[in-house]
Every structure is written in C-alpha cells, then in structure tokens.
Amino acid sequence: MAFIDIRNERIKKLEKLKEKGVDAYPSASARTHTIQKFLEEHTTLEERGGAVTLDGRVMSVRTHGGSLFLDIYDGTGRTQGYLKKDEVGEEVFSFFEEVVDIGDIVELSGMAFTTKRGAQSLLAHSWKMLAKSLRPIPDTWFGIKDEEERYRKRYLDILLSEDLRARFHRRSLFWNTIRAYLLDRDFMEVETPVLETTTGGADARPFVTHHNALNIDAYLRISAGELWQKRLMVAGFPKVFEIGRIFRNEGMSFEHAQDYTQVEFYQAFSDYEEGMDMITDLYRTVADKVYNTLTFSIKEFTVNFDSVWERYDYGALIKKEFGVDPFETSVEDVRKVLEERHMPFESKGFNLERGVDTLWKHIRKTLSGPGFLIGVPVYMEPLAKRNKKDLRVADRFQVILAGSEMGKGFSELNNSLEQAQRFNHQQELRDAGDDEAQMNDTSYVEALEYGMPPTFGFGVSERLFSFLEGVSVREGQLFPLLRPKQ
C-alpha cells in the first residue's frame, strides 16, 4: 500500500476514536511502572497480584483468534502485552483491533504473568490510546538504509536500533565521566560566550553573523571559551572548565563536522608536563568507565591506553621524512617539497605555518599512539609558552591516537608583551590571505597585563568519542547538520 493510502487509513482510524469520544492525544497517563522496572520486579508483581499500568509504543502485533499479543517499548525496555477477548470483552477487544496500529503509543493496565514459554508479560484488562501515529514505522529488520535519510529521521533510526540507542547512552556517559573527573578535582564548570566580536583559541575559519540589537557583526566561537577561561585565571579562579558547542566553517570529513561539542579546562600553577600525566589518567578513566576496556581497534591500529605513552618529536619526524628542518626551513623550501611529493595544498594564503602543518599531517597518519606530540615550533602555536631549554619550541603537546590528533594542551603564554607580538604576526597572516590565522584580541592582551599565573590548558572534542566508537563524527552525533531537503 502506498504511503499516502496508509496515512489516510490511519486518519480514518483517528476519526473513529473521536466518534467514540476518545481523546487520541491525552495529556496525562496513569503509568505505575516503567517497562524496565516492571521486568525487574516481575516475579514479585506476579506473586503479589497487584494491578500494573504500562505505557509504550506498539512495536508489533500478533492476533490468534480471541487473543492478541503486542510488544510495547517505552525507552527503558520492551515487554509483551496480552489481550484476551474473554478478559476485556468483545467490544474493547474489537475496538483495539480496529484502531490500533504499529507505532501507536498505548497504555495497558492489568496483571503481571509469565507465558508458557517463559516470557514476562502483562495480561491486560484495559487499554488506552496515548498517541495515534499517522506514519508507519519502517520494518525493524530492515530499518532505514540510506545514510542521509537516517540522519534526517534520526528519531526512527534510534527507535529501530538498539545499538544506536546504546551508543548515545555511551555518549552521555562519555561527557559525564569527563565532567565528574574534573569536578572531583575541584574544577569549576563555567559558561562563556558563544557569540564573540573576535574569535580566538584556535586556527579555524569562523561562522559570521549579525547582531541586530548592537548592529555589529559577530562570530560563532571556534573554541570552548579558551581566551575567556584564561581571563578567569586572571580573575583568580584556580581551575575552570567548559563543555560546550563550538563552530568552525570548514570542510566535512570522517573526522570533521562544523558544529560539535568540546571540553576545555584550565588549571593555574601547572604546566604541560604535569598536564600530560593528568591527560593520560583522564583518557584511561574515560576508556574504563565508558567501555570497560583500555584496548581499542581503531582503523588499522590497536591502541592500548594502559601502555606507556609515546613521545613523538615534531621536528625530528618531519626532518626524517622530508629532509626539512621546520626550525630552519623557508616557505619556498616547504612549497617545493609539497610539489615534489605531489601533496595537495591550498595556494591562497599559503605560508610557512600551513605548509609545515601539511607535512606533519602526512606523518601523523602513520602513528598509532597513544602518545604525545611535542617539539612543535613556536610559530605554529601563538598561545603557548616557549620551552626554557629551546626557545624555538612551544611547550605544547597533542594527543596522538590511531593516526589522528585527539586533544591539545600547553603551558599557556602569560607574557602579555609577547602575546601581543604573536597576535600581530597572526594578523599579518590574515592580511596576507590566511583566514584561519587567529584574530588580534587586544582586550585579552589587556587582561594579561594584569597578570595571569602559570597555567596549563587543554581541550578535546567529541572526535575522541567517535574514534572510540569506531564511527565518523557525524555518525556519533544525534542530529548532524544536513542541507534542507528539496
């Protein structure tokens, strides 16, 4: 039957409910138990013989003469309801058969009982419509196969897939594990602006919007409040964090989305060496609590969080692979290597930073981890302190897992004069066409002039979750952004 015919038939059933004086969309229910609780207490309920009322979506219906079996699901579990014509009466039984479809949300009241086959069930003595569905749910066994259609109708995708429901329970646990980890260590959760007049905290292309009330252009933030959180270090808060949405107007890929969740935190009187120990412990904690394992198969790599974490030297790796010393090379030499190796790069706004980063990303794909990338040139990181032993090097690390970057931390630059110089250089890059270079935030520099303590900062996005799940970032999101359907 065509969809439009099915919908019309269901609308007719809705009219029959109205004719009987039945509200097909009541506001309240009389539920006494979730299905999960009903199943947990089933033996006691059956022995006691008390009345039980369950609510749930009809997932299947099977009729055998004067008996009717239906599976209902309420988000906590799935159980079987049983209607007997002799128990509920012919009129009630027939009306159920006449107006109820798979997908409807109903209420069943009755007694707990166990079938001859051992199925924990509810013998219903009455039923009630809670929400009449007008569209048929796809068959559970086949579901929705088209990827884009699954994303557009994610609610059906989740309804039909126990694995997908479990994934989003894990996603919630993932973020709450990180939150609990930080709260247990006396971090204070904060909220910082999503709309900014200058973007900062990352090298990324922002979304631009207009603020009508103030009549100014504004940007959706590209980091979870990095420069704002460091202002809170100036304010005297010793430990702060934020878990929030960020936005980057860039490409889409298996690992990249334009809007996604990220955690960033900042700890005063700490540095990136101490931070590496903390992050090792944090990642192991997340893996253990969310997945009950420390070993993962990700792409072609086996990653064991319980192993000793590697230290990868940025300059040494690039020099070994390409014969280029990132501390001594020129933009012309880097361009030449890229061209000789037939490695694509964006010519607009091309500079030393972008060129060297392209070389590094080629190497990164070969590294298993878990490990920390260190030894990055200062010119690659405008917000990190210089290393005391080698002033050309930034005190920055990146977590490396299965050929990708899974978090970044550094000893925060708190010298306001040097920060101003680095911002000026970033502005020169922007003026030359690099729209991913950082903006010159003079108000942040002004805050630093009041004095910020030595600080360790770190951020990681939901990319880590998607990697541990073995899926794309979009697949790991509830509702990924899509073009409007034409």
Q: Strand runs (DSSP E) across 65-161, as ranges? A: 67-73, 78-84, 105-114, 120-131
The mean pLDDT value for 33-59 works out to 95
Whether 116 and 78 have beta carbons less than 8 Å apart is answered as no
Task: Evaluate if residue 278 carries a pLDDT over 90.
Answer: yes
pLDDT at position 250 is 86
Highest-confidence segment of 53-67, 187-201, 216-230, 448-462: 448-462
Q: Give the CATH architecture of domain 3-137.
A: Beta Barrel (2.40)
Whether 457 and 272 have beta carbons less than 8 Å apart is answered as no
Q: In what order do the strands lie in the sheet with 195-196?
A: 195-196, 216-220, 208-211
Q: What is the DSSP letter of 186?
A: T
CA distance 90 to 95: 8
Domain boundaries, the chain: 3-137, 158-309+369-469
Q: Where is 374: in which H helix or E strand?
A: strand 371-374
Q: What is the residue type of 51?
A: A
Task: Evaluate if residue 357 carries a pLDDT over 70.
Answer: yes
Q: What is the DSSP letter of 394?
A: B
The residue written with tokens 């409007």 in the block is 484
Binning pLDDT at 50, 70 and 90, where does residue 274 land? very high
Instruction: Give per-residue pLDDT as tens, 12-22.
Output: 999 999 999 99
Pick the CATH number of 158-309+369-469 from 3.40.710.10, 3.40.50.2300, 3.40.50.970, 3.30.930.10: 3.30.930.10
Other beta carbons within 10 angstroms of residue 155's beta carbon come to: 10
Instruction: Give per-residue pLDDT as tens, 370-398.
Output: 999 999 999 999 999 999 999 999 999 99
* pTM of structure: 0.92
Instruction: Give per-residue pLDDT as tens, 109-151.
Output: 999 999 988 999 999 999 999 999 999 998 755 556 778 888 9
* DSSP 3-state of 393: strand
**What is the distance of C-alpha 233 from the center of its chain?**
27
